[in-house]
């Protein structure tokens, strides 16, 4: 009896304990979930506060939420203008690439508009119809989504979806996701601020580099080349070009460009100043042409058939004068950020002043080295050029030649017909010499009615042959023939006729006077010492 009583009492106690344990299980589960939620939110908070990369932040939030909720299908979508950008999306455990779509009457837009969470435990399609929403994604059986707020504005949605189970989520999941969304918003805001500050620092560095180039570059071509390369390096646009206005031909000419080879137009490409995107931009402060307008195609260059394409043309103006246009194109998006537009506008202003200064310097330099009457180079430019050529030839051991020309009977034209006629003769001689010589030759007015031609990498025989052709062109020109003007040529070569610049010039000068004293209209070369020695006995015998 005693044993039976003890056994009965033990059974009663055991039964009571089991009942108590069963009753306590929900509480235990709640405590365990609370601990998991606390751990998860702590991990999320620590992770997102230590990261400034948006993609990494989104991955971290998804990973930590997945420890408690069913996040095999999950997305974080952010509002961008009239589009929804799905920056992070997982479908049945598989990551999907970022995508975007236009705003619709979807469930994501509903959460953004109402600014309230949405929990659908079952009857997903019925609830969608009740709300008057379109189906924008895969069919599902339950849904839990919350808005993401920054500065009191709903800027996105975070949602978990179950395609297989109803009642996969409850109110606790909603609260958990709301808390996670709040932490995510702080992290996104910090990441954006960091990106903005980083971008601002990069833009300031870019403008600083441009300013340095503007100060250091004296030639417009060098300045523009550095600018387009710096723009490409800093922004990574697919195509960058700078066109300069040619008012005489009413055209824009591409002077510099950078970017991907397949989008390049080619330096020297021209487009009518009043036509197309560039022409419109030239007449306005700015032109942004997303999507359809393609500068490359309108200028005759092949452009890819892509849906997304953005063009920004900015005029380069100094005062009221249009100097040209700065054009950038991107074939991977539809528009530019405000920071990019502001920075490129500032670039155009900086470039306008720098380009004006460079053009002014180039014009002054041109005038200082160009004879205003004949349009050929000046004596100073020639002396600098022959000194440079002598240095090069001395190192390489290659020859160069020099040709001096004095006009025959020019004094009679000046004295008998006036200086205006004399100026016409000089201009005509300069034009013939410039047109008939190679581009690598330096044609200059040496003084008065004397001209000089520097012939790099040219032997004495080649120089003498060219001299004969030039002499004939002068002698047969109608304007010069009518005034009986011809040329006396003297040709000398380095190192054959001297080892210094002074010796070469002196030898060419003596040869020229030999032509002059022989009646003019001829080409002479210096008489070498051995030739003079051979000729001396003949003269004595005579």
Closest CA to 87 of 118, 112, 64, 53: 53
Contact 343, 360 (CB under 8 A): no
Give me the mean pLDDT over the 42-69 stretch.
Answer: 71
Instruction: Judge whether residue 323 has pLDDT over 90.
Output: no
Give me the mean pLDDT over the 192-198 stretch.
Answer: 64
pTM greater than 0.95 (yes/no): no
> Token digits for 534?
């051979």
Give me the mean pLDDT over the 13-25 stretch.
Answer: 49
Mean per-residue pLDDT of the chain: 80
The fold adopted by the segment(s) 379-541 is Alpha-Beta Plaits (3.30.70)
Domain 31-193, CATH 3.30.450.40 — does that match? yes
User: pLDDT-based confidence at 302, cuts 50/70/90?
Assistant: very low
Same fold, 31-193 and 217-361: yes
Please report the pLDDT score of residue 11 as a whole number. 56
Digit-coded pLDDT (tens) for 219-233: 777 888 888 888 888
Instruction: Judge whether residue 493 has pLDDT over 50.
Output: yes
Q: CA 100 to CA 112: how far, in whole Å?
A: 16
Q: CA 345 to CA 338: how far, in whole Å?
A: 10
User: pLDDT-based confidence at 522, cuts 50/70/90?
Assistant: very high
Closest CA to 187 of 302, 41, 67: 41
Closest CA to 270 of 280, 255, 287: 255
Please report the pLDDT score of residue 112 as a whole number. 93
- CATH for 217-361 is 3.30.450.40
Residue with tokens 């970017």: 259
The strand pairing partners of 102, in sequence order, are 83
User: Quick one: CA dihedral 248, 300, 359, 273, positive or negative?
Assistant: positive
3-state secondary structure of 123: coil
Please report the pLDDT score of residue 343 as a whole number. 80
> Token digits for 124?
């997903």
Contact 61, 199 (CB under 8 A): no
Please report the pLDDT score of residue 246 as a whole number. 83
Alpha-carbon distances, residue 320 vs 54, 239, 316 (angstroms): 45, 28, 10
Q: Are strands 522-524 and 486-494 parallel, antiparallel or unpaired?
A: parallel
Residue with tokens 């059986």: 141
| pLDDT: which is higher, 75 or 316 | 75
User: pLDDT-based confidence at 314, cuts 50/70/90?
Assistant: confident
User: pLDDT-based confidence at 27, cuts 50/70/90?
Assistant: very low
Please report the pLDDT score of residue 269 as a whole number. 83
Give me the mean pLDDT over the 483-502 stretch.
Answer: 95
Digit-coded pLDDT (tens) for 444-483: 999 889 999 999 999 999 999 999 999 999 999 999 999 9
Digit-coded pLDDT (tens) for 359-417: 777 777 777 788 888 889 999 999 999 999 999 999 988 999 999 999 999 999 988 88
Query: What share of the chain in percent tops pLDDT 90?
Result: 37
Where are the chain's structural domains?
A: 31-193, 217-361, 379-541
Residue with tokens 């309108």: 298
Give me the mean pLDDT over the 59-67 stretch.
Answer: 84
Please report the pLDDT score of residue 443 as a whole number. 95
Please report the pLDDT score of residue 539 as a whole number. 41
């Amino acid at each position: 009896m005693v044993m039976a009583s003890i056994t009965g009492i033990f059974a009663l106690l055991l039964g009571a304990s089991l009942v108590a344990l069963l009753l306590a299980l929900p509480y235990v589960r709640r405590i365990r979930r609370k601990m998991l939620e606390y751990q998860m939110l702590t991990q999320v908070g620590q992770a997102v506060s230590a990261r400034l990369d948006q993609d990494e932040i989104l991955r971290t939030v998804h990973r930590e939420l997945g420890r408690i909720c069913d996040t095999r299908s999950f997305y974080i979508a952010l509002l961008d203008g009239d589009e929804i950008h799905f920056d992070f999306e997982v479908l049945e455990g598989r990551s999907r690439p970022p995508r975007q779509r236009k705003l619709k009457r979807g469930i994501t837009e509903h959460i953004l508009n109402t600014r309230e969470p949405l929990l659908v435990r079952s009857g997903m399609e019925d609830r969608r119809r009740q709300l008057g929403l379109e189906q924008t994604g895969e069919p599902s059986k339950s849904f839990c989504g919350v808005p993401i707020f920054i500065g009191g504005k709903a800027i996105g949605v975070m949602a978990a979806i179950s395609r297989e189970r109803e009642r996969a989520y409850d109110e606790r999941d909603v609260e958990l996701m709301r808390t996670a969304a709040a932490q995510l918003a702080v992290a996104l805001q910090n990441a954006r601020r960091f990106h903005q500050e980083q971008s601002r620092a990069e833009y300031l560095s870019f403008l600083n580099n441009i300013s340095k180039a503007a100060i250091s570059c004296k030639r417009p071509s060098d300045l523009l080349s550095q600018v387009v390369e710096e723009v490409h390096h800093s922004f990574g646009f697919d195509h960058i070009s700078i066109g300069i206005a040619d008012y005489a031909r009413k055209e824009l000419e591409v002077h510099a460009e950078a970017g991907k080879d397949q989008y390049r137009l080619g330096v020297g490409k021209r487009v009518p100043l009043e036509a197309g995107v560039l022409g419109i931009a030239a007449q306005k402060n700015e032109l942004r042409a997303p999507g359809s307008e393609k500068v490359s195609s309108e200028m005759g260059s092949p452009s890819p058939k892509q849906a997304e394409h953005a063009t920004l043309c900015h005029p380069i103006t100094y005062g009221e004068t249009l100097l040209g246009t700065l054009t950038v194109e991107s074939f991977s998006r539809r528009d530019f950020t405000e920071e990019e537009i502001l920075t490129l506008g500032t670039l155009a202003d900086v470039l306008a002043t720098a380009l004006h200064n460079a053009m002014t310097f180039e014009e002054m330099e041109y005038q200082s080295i160009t004879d205003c009457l004949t349009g050929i180079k000046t004596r100073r430019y020639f002396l600098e050029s022959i000194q440079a050529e002598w240095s090069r030839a001395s190192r390489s051991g290659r020859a160069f030649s020099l040709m001096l020309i004095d006009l025959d009977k020019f004094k009679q034209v000046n004295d008998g017909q006036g200086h205006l006629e004399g100026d016409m003769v000089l201009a005509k001689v300069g034009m013939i010499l410039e047109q008939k010589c190679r581009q690598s030759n330096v044609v200059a007015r040496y003084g008065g009615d004397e001209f000089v031609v520097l012939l790099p990498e040219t032997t004495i025989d080649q120089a003498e042959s060219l001299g004969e052709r030039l002499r004939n062109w002068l002698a047969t020109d109608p304007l010069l023939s009518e005034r009986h003007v011809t040329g006396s040529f003297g040709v000398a070569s380095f190192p054959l006729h001297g080892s210094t610049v002074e010796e070469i010039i002196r030898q060419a000068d003596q040869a020229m006077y030999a032509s002059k004293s022989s009646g003019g209209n001829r080409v002479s070369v210096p008489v070498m010492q051995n030739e003079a020695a051979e000729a001396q006995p003949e003269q004595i015998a005579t």
